[in-house]
Homo-oligomer: A and B are copies of this chain.
Amino acid sequence: MTDSGLLADRTPLPSELDSRLRDHLTFLIEVDRLKTILRASPLAAADRRENDAEHSWHLALMVMTLAEYADEPIDVGHTIKLVVVHDLVEIYAGDTPIYDTELAKSQREREEAAADRLFGILPADSGRALRALWDEFEERKTPEARFAKAMDRFQPLLLNWMAEGGTWRTPGVTADDVRSRKKVIGEGSTALFEAAMQLIGEGERRGWARPS
């Protein structure tokens, strides 16, 4: 957590606003913080790391563009909702890089606490609705959640490919470690899993990932 209070506390919204709407807007100001949470992945279009808001937008467009490769029929609109909210808890819990096994141990606990705090800003019914989407994404029990998760694992492959390795070059990580983290893509799309394996295989041949 970067701050003990809400962003909106710095410049409180006018008190004459309808109180339910005021809570909605307070939440929508607070989530501006997602734009400051940096991921490990480098952008393809600029020399800096990606942030969670950009990443979430990219996944939304990927869902729309790649839905035809889903193994099961998916509701595209619903799948987009899942990716739009999937990283919100990192506003308070921070990003947990996929190759950081130590940080991963406390991830679930940190993110549950963050979800309680963040979705608690909203009117109860609105908070429950967004929380349900986050839970659905995490549980991966629906075709939409499995495809959303596949997008979340596939997107950094594109950035790492463009960076000639990127986070594949994390010390201690081998090409097989990368392959292992990408298995979950196959739960949503066999075609995209195969494409992922082609990208990693070619990256390994070029020396962008350490032979296992």
Contact = CB atoms under 8 A, between A and B. Distances in A.
Given A7-B45, A32-B45, A64-B84, A16 B198 contact: yes
A23 to B, nearest CB: 10
- Looking at chain A's contact residues, the main secondary structure is helix
Interface string A176-212: 0000000000000001100100110010000000000
A36 to B, nearest CB: 5
B61 A159 contact: no
A135 interface: no
Contact of A198 (B14, B34, B191): B14
Contacts of A61: 28, 31, 84-85
Interface residues of A, number: 61
A164 interface: yes
Give the oligomeric copy count.
2
Interface stretch (A50-58, A94-102, A107-115, A167-175): A50-58
Contacts of A199: 13-14
Interface of A: 7-8, 10-11, 13-14, 16-18, 21, 24-25, 27-29, 31-36, 43-46, 50-51, 53-54, 56-58, 60-62, 64-66, 69, 75-78, 80-81, 84-85, 122, 126, 130, 158-159, 161-162, 164, 191-192, 195, 198-199, 202
